[in-house]
Amino acid sequence: MKTLKISLVISLLSALYLTPAVLFAEDNVTAEEIVIKSRLTFYYAGDDMRAKVLMELINKDGKKRVRELTMLRKDYEEGGDQKYFMYFHKPADVRDTTFMVYKYHDRDDDRWLFIPAINLVKRIAANDKYSSFVGSDFTYEDISGRKPEEDTHTLSRKDKLNGKNCFVIESIPKETSEYTKRISWIDEANFLPLKEEFYDKQDELYRQFEAQEVKDMDGILTITKRIMKNVKTGHRTEAAFQEVEYNLGVEDNVFSERYLRRPPLQWIR
Amino acid sequence: MLSKLTEIVTRFPKTTIVVVLIATIFFAIQFPKIKIDTDPENMLEQRQPDRVFYNNVKKEFGIRDLLVVGIVDEDGIFNSDTLKRIAKVTDDILKIKGVIIEDVVSLGTSDNVTSEEGALTVKRFMEKIPQAPQEIEQLKKELFGNPFFVDKIVSRDGKATSIYIPIEKKDQSYRISKEIERILKKELTPEQKYYLAGLPVAEDTFGHEMFVQMGITAPLAGFFIMILLFLIFRRGMFIVPPMMDAMLAVCWAMGLLIGLGFTVHIMSSMIPIFLMPIALLDDIHILSDFFDRYPSIKDRRKTIIATMKDLYRPMFFTSITSAVGFGSLALADIPPVRIFGLFVAFGIMAAWLFSHTIVPAIIMLMSEEKLTAFLERRHNKRSFLDGALKGLGNFAFAKSKIILLGAVIVLAIGIIGVKQIHINDNPVKWFKPKHKIRIADSAMNKFFGGTYMAYLVAEGDEEDAIKRPEVMSYIDKLQNHLETLKIVGKTSSIADIVKRINYVLHDENKSFDSVPGKQDEIGQYLFLFSMTGDPNDLDNFIDYGSQKANIWVQMKGGENIQMRKVEESTYAFTETNPPPRGITIKWSGLTYINKVWQNLMVFGMLKAILGSFFVVFLLMILAFRSIKLGVISMLPLSFAIISSYGLVGFLGKDYDMPIAVCSSLSLGMAIDFAIHFLQRFKAGYKKYNDIEATNIYMFQEPAKAITRNAIVITFGFLPLLASTLTPYITVGTFFATLMMFSFLTTLVLFPAIMRLWGKALFAKEA
């Protein structure tokens, strides 16, 4: 009796788990591979990048706060180490503030902030998994990417989103995280993430990412308008990436404390 | 006109009953639409400026309804087992639907900002449960090193922690609090105590208890009155007319209230209890009179017509004065009180209608034989009451001067007592001291910074005004001042955050634990803070345009007097230290709102009582067609009211909402005895033409009817004492006292006055 029950459970389970694998076998890609490829396309495009980022932080009453910054990125290894440099133009009282991130593939990021009012460079240690990026709805992780091995990915189905064929991937964090489940719609044609849904501990949708505009910049497909909405609070952030340029040959020494204090004018303009 | 009604009703008793019952069905079918309202804010008008401001504050600063869990371990919470349990509790609470996950403040979810090895470090107090003693020491050090969290999520003695749980919607609070309680029961050891506080919990409990009051106390009061009526009339069938009257009046008043879409608030939930004893007063007069007359007339219909004829005037005037008394509450600026007053007034007039319809109709259906048999037996019996009343009448008549002197003395003492009254209220005290809400409230206030919230809002005239250094340090100074007050347990503001960042950026150097001197410095610190947590972390303290700041003031007591002291002290501070240019300071928050409506209540009631005094006085002049008699008729109730309130003053009982409400309606009630006495006296004098003879007559049937009424109304309110909510107890006690006073003054003071001035007063009647 007992064995019968167990075998029944096993067969049910395997049916559940095996179906997607069987279905998508002909595509010959696993969910893990899709996520890895998507990350490279989205976060590691080109060898370096420069963009002007305009962010509008909008609360549920429609009131706005503005963040305007220039972002420089240099990759050292595909899917591995990266460096970011950011210079803030707006709001007015934080003008000249700079921010630098060293991303490592095998340990926590290093981050530094230059506070011009007191002429101080300070190293910052904060959890990038839930800390807000400059008060927006994006976390640091949303801006610079999350390591694929931190989640278990399943390709749950294929779906059409705004006329584009997408892989729909379900990712469950291996360790306790801010979200308990993430569902991503990844464009089959170019592997850009077009939509992401984040579910919280109550198993309810709380954050939603959407790519609103994709443009070809220097031959590289780039998401130039993106929106992150907190469904529960009604707060949202709209980010526009302007003047995006790739493969500019940004020097290594830009990413240093010296330039934090004296921003590299040629790059930030 | 009324005699015509009596004619018709007594001719077609069955039709009358059917018509009234059909009308009643219309009111009764409204009952299922009942909506309970326990929101204390509704004590103020929707558009009342303080309420509008409070709603804006809540909206702009993202202030949610908050449940607060307190966990107390007498052995201290700083050991890995207890910390693990606390973490598990917190984690499970986050999983409850309706809880706003990212705004939960607790040991397990809040971030600490510190300086570690030169880096500004932001991390959860308990990322992992500390195991080794040095890890636990470290946690302790971090917690007590951040003033923002001491007295908030951890008590100073390390024995208690609390979890602040904002919820999406207030109407989910009952379900959520039940789930939280289940979690706490499951995860904590039996020695560890927990408390569940917060306004939504109190409101829910209150709403629940209100239903209990309406479902149990009101029927209980009805039953009690039934027994009293039986003791008075000694016959089951005589209970029917007054009880029908009372029940129908309640049905009509509540049905209309619900049907018109009004919510049932603490005040309106008392309508049935108030209405029942009042509704049957006229009926007792009718029945008493009917009994006395029947044996000589021996015909139901003729007896009723004769009885009613004498009672039209006094019944009309007693009803209309009571209705005016309650109706005067419509002058108050507090919507629930207004609704209460108007609908009790409606119920009283409905009851008056039933006294003229249903009551005679039911009497018409009683069998003549039984009436004859019963009433003849009764007529010949002399009761203890007859003897006692006779003695009282003779005594009061004989010792008139001493009585008047005594009255003046008692009145003087009463006025002294009235002067000692202090106005105060605290809605938490609407629960009895042993109630678990009160226990949780006092425990939480013992361990933490205070559960009574008030907000002090600083508003500038332009964007970024709050970021100005002088504004920021003014906020800081204001907080320092507030914290010198004993009742203020803790304050928190944007200035605390700026100071903390300044301190941590400068490697926790004490000399930087202050507000920086430059505006862009403040702006950059806040920007830095926004890079370390949730986007809405600052929302509670500063608005989106940095034009307004909100100082959270946690108080250990929520009494109006305490709030007023804090308010006055703040005012004094701003007088000597005027706010920086363009900055205005304004109070808000629930504790403040309570104070506001309490104030409105006091003046509203004063207006109501003066208004109804005047109207009742006019009605009395009209009723007696004499100014002098009008004045005299107001004496016993003035006396009763002053003595009752004097007693309140001497006992040190706070003049709170229930007491305030009693004041204006007591007037309409207390006048009843005087009306009956004087009307009867007038009629008696006409007949006997002699004051002493009239007085002797008065202390027979008329005094008996008045006494019966006094008994019903005094004892009829007593079931309120069994209530679990103090406003009911207060109202019950106060009303019983007031009715006793008013009854005694009527029966003692009037004979004395009549002996001295009766001849002059009734000269016309001779």
Residue A60 DSSP code: T
Give CA–CA dist B139/B158, Å, rounded.
11
Lowest mean pLDDT among A14-18, A219-223, B287-291, B760-764: A14-18
Among B197, B218, B233, identify where a domain stops: B197
Candidate from B120, B123, B536 with C-beta closest to A127: B123
Does residue B253 lie in a domain region?
yes
Which band of pLDDT confidence, cut at 50, 70 and 90, is reported for residue B708? confident
Inter-chain touch B518–A133, beta carbons under 8 Å: no
Candidate from B97, B519, B523 with C-beta closest to A204: B97
Which band of pLDDT confidence, cut at 50, 70 and 90, is reported for residue A128? confident
Inter-chain touch A135–B527, beta carbons under 8 Å: yes
Inter-chain touch B536–A233, beta carbons under 8 Å: yes
Chain B residues inside the 8 Å CB shell of A65: 544
Candidate from A63, A113, A230 with C-beta closest to B528: A113
Mean residue pLDDT across chain B: 89
Average pLDDT (B117-135) is 89
CATH of the domain at B77: 3.30.70
Question: Measured between alpha carbons, how far is residue B710 from residues A53, B275, B414 in Å?
Answer: 82, 15, 22
Structure tokens at B594: 């309570």
Average pLDDT (A48-63) is 92
Burial of residue A29 (number of CB atoms within 10 Å: 0-12, 13-18, 19+): middle
Inter-chain touch A132–B544, beta carbons under 8 Å: no
pTM of the model: 0.83
DSSP states of B60-77 as a string?
HTT--EEEEEEEE-TT-S
Looking at residue B380, its pLDDT comes to 65
User: Over the stretch B394-425, which tens digit does the pLDDT of each residue have?
Assistant: 898 889 899 999 999 999 999 999 899 888 88
Torsions phi, psi of B189, nearest 5? -80, 160
Chain A residues inside the 8 Å CB shell of B100: 232-233
Cα within 13 Å of Cα(B358), Cβ side: 29
Candidate from B96, B118, B534 with C-beta closest to A123: B118
Average pLDDT (A148-176) is 93
Do residues B185 and B273 share a domain? no
Inter-chain touch A59–B518, beta carbons under 8 Å: no
Chain B residues inside the 8 Å CB shell of A230: 535
Inter-chain touch A137–B532, beta carbons under 8 Å: no
Looking at residue A23, its pLDDT comes to 45
Do residues B524 and B639 share a domain? no
User: Over the stretch A71-84, which tens digit does the pLDDT of each residue have?
Assistant: 999 999 988 999 99
User: Over the stretch B165-213, which tens digit does the pLDDT of each residue have?
Assistant: 999 888 788 899 999 999 999 999 999 999 998 878 887 788 778 777 7
Min Cα–Cα distance to chain A from B533, Å: 5
Chain B residues inside the 8 Å CB shell of A123: 118-120
Does residue B254 lie in a domain region?
yes
Do residues B123 and B156 share a domain? yes
Question: Chain A: which residues have CB within 8 Å of chain B?
Answer: 57, 59, 61, 63-65, 88, 91, 93-94, 97, 99, 113, 115-118, 120, 122-127, 130-137, 200-202, 204, 206, 230, 232-233, 235, 237
In this structure, which amino acid lies at residue A126?
A
User: Over the stretch B64-73, which tens digit does the pLDDT of each residue have?
Assistant: 888 999 999 9
Does residue B475 lie in a domain region?
yes
Question: Chain B: which residues have CB within 8 Å of chain A?
Answer: 59, 91, 94-97, 99-101, 116, 118-124, 168, 464, 467, 505, 516, 518-525, 527-528, 530-536, 544-545
Residue B712 DSSP code: H
Give CA–CA dist B543/B538, Å, rounded.
8
Min Cα–Cα distance to chain B from A134, Å: 4
Q: Is the pLDDT reported for residue B346 higher than 80?
A: yes
Q: Is the pLDDT reported for residue A21 higher than 60?
A: no
Say if residues B350 and B271 touch (Cβ distance below 8 Å).
no
Min Cα–Cα distance to chain A from B124, Å: 9
Say if residues B501 and B528 touch (Cβ distance below 8 Å).
yes
Neighbours of B525 (CB within 10 A): 26
Looking at residue A1, its pLDDT comes to 43
Q: Is the pLDDT reported for residue A24 higher than 70?
A: no
Inter-chain touch B97–A113, beta carbons under 8 Å: no
Inter-chain touch A113–B531, beta carbons under 8 Å: yes
Distance of CA B402 to the CA centre of its chain: 40
Higher pLDDT, residue B29 or B378 = B29
Question: Measured between alpha carbons, how far is residue B589 from residues A14, A19, B191, B451, B741 in Å?
Answer: 57, 57, 35, 12, 41
Residue A94 neighbours by CB under 8 Å, 6+ apart: A88, B520, B523, B524, B527
Domain count, chain B: 3
Looking at residue B210, its pLDDT comes to 77
Q: Establish, for the pair of chains A and B, how many residue pairs have beta carbons separated by less than 8 Å.
A: 117
Say if residues B271 and B410 touch (Cβ distance below 8 Å).
no
Min Cα–Cα distance to chain B from A50, Å: 21
Chain B residues inside the 8 Å CB shell of A60: none
Inter-chain touch A124–B521, beta carbons under 8 Å: no
Chain B residues inside the 8 Å CB shell of A131: 122, 531-533
Inter-chain touch A97–B527, beta carbons under 8 Å: yes
**Predicted ipTM of the assembly:** 0.86
DSSP states of B61-122 as a string?
TT--EEEEEEEE-TT-S-SHHHHHHHHHHHHHHHTSTTB-GGG-BSTTT-EEEEEETTEEEE
Average pLDDT (B304-319) is 90
Q: Is the pLDDT reported for residue A261 higher than 70?
A: yes
Chain A residues inside the 8 Å CB shell of B120: 113, 122-126
Do residues B729 and B603 share a domain? yes
Among B154, B178, B197, identify where a domain stops: B197
B-chain residue closest to A204, CA distance: B97
Inter-chain touch B97–A202, beta carbons under 8 Å: yes
Inter-chain touch A118–B121, beta carbons under 8 Å: no
Structure tokens at B434: 């042993």
- Long-range contact pairs involving B740-744 (C-beta distance under 8 Å, separation at least 24): B740/B710, B740/B714, B741/B639, B741/B640, B741/B643, B741/B644, B741/B670, B742/B636, B742/B637, B742/B640, B742/B666, B742/B669, B742/B670, B742/B673, B743/B673, B743/B706, B743/B707, B743/B710, B743/B714
Beta strands per DSSP E along A38-163: 48-58, 64-75, 82-90, 98-103, 110-115, 120-126, 151-161
Looking at residue B303, its pLDDT comes to 92
Chain A residues inside the 8 Å CB shell of B515: none
Domain that holds residue B152: 61-197
Do residues B662 and B737 share a domain? yes
**CA triplet B276, B279, B285: central angle to 5 degrees?**
125
Candidate from B91, B168, B533 with C-beta closest to A132: B533
Inter-chain touch B101–A206, beta carbons under 8 Å: yes
Does residue B51 lie in a domain region?
no
Mean residue pLDDT across chain A: 87
Inter-chain touch A117–B527, beta carbons under 8 Å: no
Candidate from B168, B528, B536 with C-beta closest to A115: B528
Do residues B684 and B606 share a domain? yes
Do residues B251 and B359 share a domain? yes
Min Cα–Cα distance to chain B from A188, Å: 33
Looking at residue B737, its pLDDT comes to 87
Among B171, B197, B223, identify where a domain stops: B197
CATH of the domain at B579: 3.30.70.1320
Domain residue limits, chain A:
2-268
Sheet holding B193-197, edge to edge: B160-167, B65-72, B193-197
Residue in A60, A93, A97 to test binding to B, most B beta-carbons within 10 Å: A93
Do residues B691 and B733 share a domain? yes
**CA triplet B477, B479, B485: central angle to 5 degrees?**
115
Higher pLDDT, residue B522 or B624 = B522
Do residues B467 and B606 share a domain? no
Inter-chain touch A124–B535, beta carbons under 8 Å: no
Inter-chain touch A135–B531, beta carbons under 8 Å: yes
Strands A120-126 and A110-115, sheet pairing: antiparallel
Does residue B504 lie in a domain region?
yes
Do residues B576 and B639 share a domain? no
Is the domain spanning A2-268 CATH 2.50.20.10? The answer is yes
Q: Is the pLDDT reported for residue A9 higher than 70?
A: no
Higher pLDDT, residue A254 or B428 = A254
Residue A52 DSSP code: E
Give CA–CA dist B13/B200, Å, rounded.
51
Please provide the distance, in angstroms rounded to a whole number, between the alpha carbons at the two ends of chain A: 75
Higher pLDDT, residue B663 or A64 = A64
Residue B42 DSSP code: G
Do residues B421 and B519 share a domain? no
B-chain residue closest to A237, CA distance: B535
Does residue B436 lie in a domain region?
no
Inter-chain touch A124–B122, beta carbons under 8 Å: yes
Do residues B215 and B191 share a domain? no
Say if residues A42 and A145 touch (Cβ distance below 8 Å).
yes
Candidate from A94, A123, A202 with C-beta closest to B119: A123
Does residue B617 lie in a domain region?
yes
Candidate from A120, A130, A201 with C-beta closest to B505: A120
Say if residues B6 and B360 touch (Cβ distance below 8 Å).
yes
Chain A residues inside the 8 Å CB shell of B544: 59, 61, 63-65
Looking at residue B215, its pLDDT comes to 79
Strands A82-90 and A98-103, sheet pairing: antiparallel
Q: Which of these, B262, B278, B256, B246, lies nearest to B338 by C-alpha position?
A: B262
Inter-chain touch A123–B530, beta carbons under 8 Å: no
Does residue B147 lie in a domain region?
yes
What's the maximum distance between 2 C-alpha atoms anywhere in chain B?
Answer: 106
Inter-chain touch A91–B116, beta carbons under 8 Å: no
Lowest mean pLDDT among A109-113, B481-485, B647-651, B699-703: B699-703
Structure tokens at B116: 């570690």
Candidate from A131, A200, A202 with C-beta closest to B532: A131
